[in-house]
Amino acid sequence: MISGQMILYFIKKSKIFGYLILSAIFLILSYLIFVLNVLLLMDFETVQIVKNPSKMTMSSVVVETSHVDKGAFVASSRGKYFYPTSCSRARSLSVKNMLYFKDKVSAEAQGYLEYNGC
């Protein structure tokens, strides 16, 4: 195993070895930044699984949107308020109870109140 002192010794003695190590570190960091950017730009869709479709009524159907859509709102099926998806309260909701809305009008039509704390 190569220790830090050995690496420093080789860097001092051989400039080529030092440049190789710095190049490898640069490539690894560049790759990590690339992967993080790709993950941040992905569009994650939310899918709601209906266990018993025969019991589903029109009043229980909610238009769902992506997590990353700006202007989208979310509410808990057990709560009475809806939040913008960027709100910290929205991130604390249970995923299995989340309902998504395109706009405020559709959330209010389902009986939810707007949360003004965000």
pLDDT, tens digit (0-9, with 9 covering 90-100), for 22-64: 888 889 989 988 888 777 776 555 555 556 555 554 444 444 4
CB 32 within 8 A of CB 24: no
Three-class SS state of 107: helix
Residue 71 tokens read as 């202007």
Cβ atoms of residues 69 and 42 within 8 Å: no
Query: pTM, whole model, 2 decimals?
Result: 0.41
HSE toward the beta carbon, residue 106, CA cutoff 13 A: 17
SS3 75: strand
Q: How far, CA to CA in Å, does 33 sit from each of 28, 42, 58?
A: 9, 15, 45
